[in-house]
Structure 1
């Protein structure tokens, strides 16, 4: 069966520098995939290519049978910064996104639907506040609500919680896990947070250091859902997953960088499923 999202041999090159090359992976419909790797390996560039905000030097990306040629409403992005329009309220920020998807809706319908989406992320009480009146976590909740409002086929997340305090970050991670699971949402996230990847992902793509970065292996997350941040470390298999990822980031991401080992096939990187 063909994957819902197919990343086919993409590379990003600049004069004298190849950031990454020969990157292949697929994402099944309704699957949550995280990409983990050190700074400089091209994670954000890969996400931007999936979003249609950047173009690969080689290769391409196919979503639901259509090659990506630019941004579209079937792919919503949640950035590191909230990227809200400061002159609009939370409701109006979400309503603006809705109006792009539903240009025929009137103001009352947009208002009603925007408030309903804000309620899903626990912000119905803050609908009339502008971003300057919201905390960092609340701003990111509005950003998530805005992305969900357009009912995208795929959510793309670029370390959306990295600037938040630990308690807020944990709360939002669980919120995203719940919302994407309930909606059967296809999602792709890049992160430096190992526990975040374990909490959210069905599969974790481990990327070598750049330049000439590549996907070294695909780690299958066998921990059952629902996953709760506070109890995640008590689940059987958690420590094996975490140790495997940490060992990769500390050592193997560096030692595997450069020329791939003999027998490595970029179209079919090693799949790792740890003993449960």
Structure 2
């Protein structure tokens, strides 16, 4: 796959405190990458830098051959909150974003495209409702529809399902997995949910604890697609992958030291790991 995003040695410092530094990684075109780590390691700041909402203290982010200098509609963001305008309907929120993207489109064309985007996330019936009339999950669906309607080159997600109940979260995770696969979207997501990362990601970036956080390890997700929440835990290799990520979060993230790193580690060449897949037990003889 062709590299679309290249994060090159970025750092963020607040006074004498270094939140993260010397962070290097790439995202290939059409790839889904999840960033996982404990609170305080700078995950949201990294996403904001990718979105052009913040500037790193060191390093640069190159997107499609050009250094990021600010926000762009080519990089759509789905936040933890729905970020909808309360005086507009669901269709109106999506249509407004489309009118910013396509200045030459008529109001009718924007409205038709907005309703089609809402149909794709199962909200045809709610197109004319305002956010106050929608559930939390429905609001997030509108946010997803708005982001994908822009046909961005990259989708950035900051724990977009963290405030939802378990059933709604699972449903939206499956929805995002389907839509991103259908559109071959390049995506970058921050999450604390290990199963969410395994469900969605092609690669999982594991960050050490802050301050002074780094990308400590890159885990390659070899579980075949399509994946769904209902069948994920039955897939061969799921438990080995999940145990590996959890072991990092519980133990190795605290022990990682960039001044005395494990063999083979360097910030520009973080080792990629494919957790061993245990062979299924033999069938019992009849």
- Residue 87 (structure 1) aligns with: 87
Query: What SS does structure 2 have at the residue aligned with 1:132?
Result: helix
Give every structure 1 segment of 4 or more consecutive aligned residues whose post-TM-superposition deviation is greater than 6 Å.
Answer: none
- Deviation at residue 259 of structure 1 after TM alignment: 2.8
Structure of larger gyration radius = 2
Correspondence 1:98 to 2:103: no
| Distance (Å, rounded) in 2 between the aligned partners of 1:260 and 1:26 | 24
| Distance (Å, rounded) in 2 between the aligned partners of 1:38 and 1:189 | 14
Q: Is the 8 A contact 2:49 2:55 kept in 1?
A: yes
Query: What SS does structure 2 have at the residue aligned with 1:6?
Result: strand
For residues 246-265 of structure 1, the aligned pairs below 5 Å read 246-257=246-257, 259-261=259-261, 264-265=265-266
Q: Which runs of 5+ in 2 are unaligned?
A: 278-286
- Deviation at residue 114 of structure 1 after TM alignment: 0.4
TM-score normalised by L of structure 1: 0.98
Q: What does the per-residue CA deviation read over 1:233-276, in whole Å, with 9 as the maximum and x for residues that have no partner?
A: 01000000000010000010001145341653100001101223
Stretch of structure 1 that moved more, 253-262 or 174-183: 253-262
- Deviation at residue 231 of structure 1 after TM alignment: 1.1
TM-score normalised by L of structure 2: 0.95
Q: What does the per-residue CA deviation read over 1:151-207, in whole Å, with 9 as the maximum and x for residues that have no partner?
A: 100000000000000000000000000000010000000000000000000000000
- Residue 30 (structure 1) aligns with: 30
| Distance (Å, rounded) in 2 between the aligned partners of 1:114 and 1:84 | 14
For residues 47-196 of structure 1, the aligned pairs below 5 Å read 47-196=47-196
Q: What does the per-residue CA deviation read over 1:212-246, in whole Å, with 9 as the maximum and x for residues that have no partner?
A: 00000100000000001011101000000000010
RMSD: 1.1
Correspondence 1:272 to 2:265: no
Q: Is the 8 A contact 1:213 1:257 kept in 2?
A: no
| Distance (Å, rounded) in 1 between the aligned partners of 2:8 and 2:260 | 18
| Distance (Å, rounded) in 2 between the aligned partners of 1:225 and 1:67 | 32
Q: Is the 8 A contact 2:2 2:29 kept in 1?
A: no
| Distance (Å, rounded) in 1 between the aligned partners of 2:238 and 2:201 | 13
Q: Which runs of 5+ in 1 are unaligned?
A: none
- Residue 215 (structure 1) aligns with: 215
Query: What SS does structure 2 have at the residue aligned with 1:48?
Result: helix
Q: Is the 8 A contact 1:207 1:217 kept in 2?
A: yes
- State how many pairs are aligned: 276
